[in-house]
Structure 1
Amino acid sequence: MDQSQRKSELLEKYMNNSCTRQEFDELFDLLKQSDNFDDFDSAFKSHWDDAPNTATPKPANWDDIQQNVVMRLWSMRRGRVRIKYFIAILLICSSALFLFNRYQKPEAPVYQTARTTAAKTKVVLLADGTRVTLNANSTLRYPDDFNADKREVYLTGEAYFEVFHDENKPFVIHSGKLLTHVLGTTFTVSAYPQLASPLNVTVLTGKVAVKHQQANALAVLTRGQSATMNQGKTQFELTKLKNPEDAIAWIDDKLIFENADLKQVATVLSNKFGVNIIIKDKQLANQRITAIFQGQGLQSILKAVTKITHTNYTNANNSTYTISTN
């Protein structure tokens, strides 16, 4: 290959973004040493004619730069000098643009926050098509767009997730000390901030990995499996549900307690009705019940719960209830 062909080949490779660092240096050396630029003309003209008119990123206004360069070049007298400087400036500008795109920091995501109050639920549609249903007294913080290599959201409270499958971008939920990692599936996460409230993940479809960051406990769950981390424990309590859809019964205003202890019942009722339910006796708090309630008010549910557990409840004011054996 003669030098004329080599010049044309190197310029063509550079313009197609396929030259190596060594070839790039060789091209610059040829530009600096050459007195005859006709060898570059065919490759340059072909690339210029075929180049799309694309927008360039901010903050550099490359259109203005190009226009300014062209005006200066056409004011020059000698055509070969015009080509020489045009190519040199084009390479410099292209290199600057490449470095700008290569090393600029990604923009910080803009987050939105969705909240629910007592006795209210809300559906939130995320940018990737994921659907999140928030239970009462819950908060979801999520980005406008998922531009990073994973999709991350932040939950306080309880939510049902229907995650859009994307094997290239795992979906991660931060909920207190729980970290839930999925690709695409349906599941619930319960992480209310109350001290006595257990942390729970229940899978309806697919597979979910859940980790408790403080205890360093890890569990991988499939359909119908539930992982619960109780206060003071270092391992998940794993259970298998007969009907996994019971975990989202609250969406239909239904409460299903299956072998749930009384402190769990108190937490659910407190969040649903926006009250504070106190269980005076620790042993009583561990007593378990199985019951289903739908469309019933707080007073009606408390009467049923205390009847099942052979206890009583008192109402000191409109927002505080106490369950005891007295």
Structure 2
Amino acid sequence: MQHTNRHTELLQKYMDNACTQEEFGELMELIKNSPNPEAFDQAMKAFWDKSGEKDLPDGIEWSKMQRKIKLRLWALRRTKVKLAFATVILAVFCIGYLWKNRTAEVTAPVAYVTQHSLPGKTRVIVLADGSKITLNANSELTYPQVFNAKTREVYLKGEAYFEVAHKTHQPFIIHSGKIKTQVLGTTFTVSAYAADQPHNVTVLTGKVAVKDEDSKELVFLTRGQSATTEKGAAKFKLSALKTPEDAIAWLDDKLMFDNTDLKTVALKLGNKYGAHIVVSEHLAHQRITAVFQGQSLPGILNAITRLTRSGYKANDNTYTLY
């Protein structure tokens, strides 16, 4: 019994990376000089039970792992390669230990954080991997506290500018409505305020893959390229910006409209200020070119009505242009 307890003690120290050189040598000698594989059964079983309480997937359990270890050990014993015998028993045991504990980690609930930006305000969020996300006004980002999966996945409602930390083996994925955007490390914007509005991805640096989860269409975008969903359309509307930085003018509290119809202007203003803006059918297709910076919603609407020779009325949080 005392001999078996020493097996267990040394195995525990080895797995905890707390084994001295002398203790490691002792462990090797105990394994090499064991008269048969069963001599180590009790020590390994004790350590297996201690390594985690969750069941492994696909019915993997100690009895099955034990049989595999014994087969490997008996094969090595017949070759009389004692060093390989000692190495393999530890390697197999370590794999079982890491596999069991990794499974417990993967199946553990992921802790998510949700952050919001207020109407008319932006908000900067720095994630655990060093990625920086700036939320446009009236937006929401949900993300895990720690990225411990094979991918880094976040969920966006609204609009945001992403500066993603490069990680070759851990792609960054943004879920925004029916659009999924995947990158390794780059800068781009994603706009997805409401299901009935166009969703957009615009790249400033690097390359991204954008997929429509409904139609399964996949496009790749590089600097200055933009993909937009259109209601009822099975394909993205692709376009190119002469100045990609215009897509993030909102970082400086700017609203830029270049020959933009009032229906689209109303959507952008409503998203930014968290308001409902209605445009009469007569005005919906009228276009304006203007830049607004640091102005209130009533101030912008006053300017628009002067440009279009129209008027507006307010009722609580609803504004009607006529």
TM-score higher than 0.5 here? yes
1:99-139 CA-partner distances (Å, limit 9, x unpaired): 24214241332111111121111100001110000011111
The equivalent residue for 1:312 is 311
The equivalent residue for 2:59 is none
Matched-pair contact (CA < 8 Å) for 1:163–1:186: yes
Matched-pair contact (CA < 8 Å) for 1:261–1:288: yes
Return the alpha-carbon distance in structure 2 between the equivalents of residues 308 and 190 of structure 1. Answer: 27
Give structure 1 regions of 4+ aligned residues with deviation exceeding 6 angstroms. 91-94
Corresponding residue to 1:31 among 24, 28, 35: 35
Structure 1 residues 211 and 33: CA distance shift in structure 2, 3 A: closer
Moved more, 180-189 or 303-312: 303-312
| Length-normalised TM-score, structure 2 | 0.69
Kindly tell me the number of residue pairs found equivalent between the two proteins: 248
For structure 1, the residue ranges without an aligned partner over 5 or more in a row are 1-14, 17-26, 38-55, 61-90
Return the alpha-carbon distance in structure 2 between the equivalents of residues 185 and 224 of structure 1. Answer: 13
For structure 2, the residue ranges without an aligned partner over 5 or more in a row are 1-13, 16-30, 40-48, 54-87
Structure 1 residues 288 and 198: CA distance shift in structure 2, 3 A: farther
Structure 1 residues 33 and 141: CA distance shift in structure 2, 3 A: closer
Return the alpha-carbon distance in structure 2 between the equivalents of residues 57 and 246 of structure 1. Answer: 58
- Once the two structures are TM-superposed, the CA of residue 310 in structure 1 deviates from its matched residue by 4.1
Structure 1 residues 95 and 216: CA distance shift in structure 2, 3 A: closer
| Length-normalised TM-score, structure 1 | 0.68
Matched-pair contact (CA < 8 Å) for 2:51–2:97: no
Return the alpha-carbon distance in structure 1 between the equivalents of residues 151 and 173 of structure 2. Answer: 7
Written as runs of structure 1 = structure 2, the 5 A alignment for 1:267-286 is: 267-281=267-281, 284-286=283-285
- Once the two structures are TM-superposed, the CA of residue 284 in structure 1 deviates from its matched residue by 3.8
Report the AA paired with residue 209 of structure 1.
A
Return the alpha-carbon distance in structure 2 between the equivalents of residues 311 and 250 of structure 1. Answer: 26
The equivalent residue for 2:73 is none
- Once the two structures are TM-superposed, the CA of residue 167 in structure 1 deviates from its matched residue by 1.1
1:102 counterpart SS class: helix
Matched-pair contact (CA < 8 Å) for 2:161–2:189: yes
The structure with the larger Rg is 1
The equivalent residue for 1:190 is 191
2:173 counterpart SS class: strand
2:189 counterpart SS class: strand
Root-mean-square deviation over aligned CA pairs = 3.1
Structure 1 residues 321 and 97: CA distance shift in structure 2, 3 A: same
Return the alpha-carbon distance in structure 2 between the equivalents of residues 202 and 272 of structure 1. Answer: 18
Structure 1 residues 298 and 209: CA distance shift in structure 2, 3 A: same
